[in-house]
Structure 1
Amino acid sequence: MDWDKLRIFHAVADAGSLTHAGDTLHLSQSAISRQIRSLEDSLDTTLFHRHARGLILTEQGELLFEATRSMNKRLEATAARIRDSEDEVYGEIRVTTTTGFGTLWLAPRLPTLYDRYPDLKIDLMLEERVLDLAMREADVAIRMKEPSQADLIRRRLMNIRMRLYASAEYVAERGIPETLEDLSEHRLICQNANAAQVQAGGVLVQHLLTYDIRSTLTVNNYYGVLQAVRSNLGIGVLPDYLTEDFPQLIRVFPEVESAEVPVFLAYPEELRHSKRVAVFRDFVTEEIIAYRKRQASENLLAAREA
């Protein structure tokens, strides 16, 4: 298959018109049209439905566009890796993690990384779905469980637990429940037990729901749970890494928590020598080490005061 024709097809499919693709490729509309017709002839299929408002991909065109889009991403990533050098760090790095961890822990710390490497471009993809690193859906993943793929480099960052928290204002107005049975007088804010989330969090929520809780608010990520707790709506199930950045949260039921949840950073073996991946990995590791040290100091201080 002719690579040049595929490049032109991709530009047309991406732009949705011959005119816009021509502006990008610096080719005439007639030249692009000839290349598309030639590609369609070689494949013995129609790739576009043509109408007055532009071009729409046929089913076969959608399949080819999906392939060229994947090829284009891999080529861009390869070009960026080739440009990596010992002295310069620039280009795009695609990072995937959960909505909660990405918005509440990672994003607030990124200014430090950008101060060091102002030419770095980070594409932060926040979703509960596990993206396929081997298929280059992302370059680096921070996941709440150990990755199962064999060809990944992985590093365990820390362990977290899900615990119960309320705002100071809520506690001042409604008080702290003394037993789990007292939760019936409060609203529980959590992720839906059947939603995509870490298993330990789901198990804790299912346990809490065995009590006669009359009012609940379920949200599909921890960012939403946190905002509801800060709005004094009730008692929320939240990861313990939030307590450093949100010290106004008050822990409810200190003896109640989920099992430990391991947090892993992973990336494909083929990116082992990427400078962009290395600086991101080292940055996150430094932040985690500093976080652990602060946690240890706070725990020691609390033990002495007790």
Structure 2
Amino acid sequence: MDWDKLRIFHAVADAGSLTHAGDTLHLSQSAVSRQIRALEESLDATLFHRHARGLILTEQGELLFDATKAMSKRLDAASARIRDSDEEMYGELRVTTTLGFGLMWLAPRLHHFYEKYPNIKIDLMLEERVLDLPMREADVAIRMKEPSQADLIRKRLMSVTMQLYASQGYLEQNGTPAELADLKHHRLLCQRTTSKQVNAAASFVQRLLAYNVPSMLTVNNYFGVLQGVKHDLGIGVLPDYVTQDVPDLVPVLPDEKSVEVPVYLAYPEELRASKRISAFRDFVQEEIIIHRKGILVEQAM
């Protein structure tokens, strides 16, 4: 099978358009179309349904696209390992983590990473879905549970808990709860229990709801909860790692919290020798040490 035709097919299937694929490949639309027709003839199969809004893969096309995606990821892995044999670190590093951790902890610290490694381009993928690292959907992951996928190197970074926080303005206007039963006089802000999240967080919210909370604001991520708390909407359930970066938060009922949630960093075994991964891993560990020291200072004041 012609590798060049497969490369063009992959670009068209990924873009869903001959024109967009041509722009990516620096080929004319007619040249791309000729290569696709030639590939279909060689396979004696129709790979795309053509309609006015673009191209849709046929069943045979889906099978071939699955194969070319796997090939592309393996080639990316090989390319990354070859690049990492150089002394100078450069290139792309695809990092995946949850929306809350990525927005509220990781992103605010990335300037420290770029100060050391300005030639590394980070592609930050924030989503609750667990990406397949062995299949190279990402290079490295930070997750709120130990990854179960095989052929991964795992390192436990820290533990977090979910706790209650409010703004000073909200508490001055509405009072500070002395016990959980007092939540019936307040608005609770939390991630909705049906959203994808760790069990410890959902269980903690369910326990709070047993106290007949009359008013609620539910959001599908912790960044939204944080914004509500900062703007005096109520008492929010938030991970404890936000406290250092948002000093205006006031802990509410500090003895009430979820069970500990482990935070893991993971990457494929085949990238064990990657200098980019090592640099990112060391950066995260250093930032965690700084973060812990900051919390200890706050507690001592």
TM-score (norm 1): 0.91
Q: Deviations over 1:8-59 (max 9, x none)?
A: 2123334555455455545565554443223212322111234567544334
**Equivalent residue letter for 1:47:** L
Matches of 1:277 and 1:149 in 2, distance apart?
18
**Equivalent residue letter for 1:126:** L
* Alpha-carbon distance change, 242 to 4 in structure 1, aligned in 2, over 3 angstroms: same
**Equivalent residue letter for 2:268:** P
**Equivalent residue letter for 1:8:** I
Aligned residues with identical type, % of pairs? 70
**Equivalent residue letter for 2:118:** P
Matches of 2:162 and 2:22 in 1, distance apart?
54
| Correspondence for 2:114 | 114
* Alpha-carbon distance change, 181 to 83 in structure 1, aligned in 2, over 3 angstroms: same
Contact 1:147–1:266 (8 Å) recurs in 2:
yes
**Equivalent residue letter for 1:112:** H
1:87 aligns with 2:87: yes
Contact 2:73–2:135 (8 Å) recurs in 1:
no
Matches of 1:19 and 1:212 in 2, distance apart?
57
* Alpha-carbon distance change, 170 to 51 in structure 1, aligned in 2, over 3 angstroms: closer
Matches of 2:254 and 2:85 in 1, distance apart?
49
Within a 5 Å distance, the mapping from 1:172-251 to structure 2 comes to 172-251=172-251
Contact 1:163–1:237 (8 Å) recurs in 2:
yes
* Alpha-carbon distance change, 8 to 267 in structure 1, aligned in 2, over 3 angstroms: same
| 43-52 vs 175-184, greater mean Cα deviation | 43-52
| Correspondence for 1:131 | 131
Q: Number of residue pairs matched? A: 301
Within a 5 Å distance, the mapping from 1:159-178 to structure 2 comes to 159-178=159-178
Matches of 2:52 and 2:242 in 1, distance apart?
54
Matches of 1:298 and 1:201 in 2, distance apart?
25
* Alpha-carbon distance change, 191 to 19 in structure 1, aligned in 2, over 3 angstroms: closer
Matches of 1:79 and 1:16 in 2, distance apart?
26
How far did 1:137 drift? 1.3
Within a 5 Å distance, the mapping from 1:1-306 to structure 2 comes to 1-18=1-18, 21-22=21-22, 24-25=24-25, 31-50=31-50, 55-85=55-85, 87-299=87-299, 301-302=300-301
SS of aligned partner of 2:82? helix
**Equivalent residue letter for 2:123:** D
TM-score (norm 2): 0.92
**Equivalent residue letter for 2:158:** M
Contact 1:96–1:127 (8 Å) recurs in 2:
yes
Matches of 2:26 and 2:248 in 1, distance apart?
57
Matches of 1:209 and 1:170 in 2, distance apart?
20
How far did 1:81 drift? 2.4
SS of aligned partner of 2:153? strand
Contact 1:86–1:275 (8 Å) recurs in 2:
no
Matches of 1:149 and 1:26 in 2, distance apart?
38
Matches of 1:114 and 1:185 in 2, distance apart?
46
SS of aligned partner of 2:164? strand
SS of aligned partner of 1:94? strand
**Equivalent residue letter for 2:111:** P
How far did 1:223 drift? 0.6
Contact 2:166–2:232 (8 Å) recurs in 1:
yes
* Alpha-carbon distance change, 25 to 105 in structure 1, aligned in 2, over 3 angstroms: closer
Q: Deviations over 1:129-188 (max 9, x none)?
A: 111111211111101111122321111111111100000110111110112111111000
Q: Give 5+ residue unaligned stretches, structure 2.
A: none
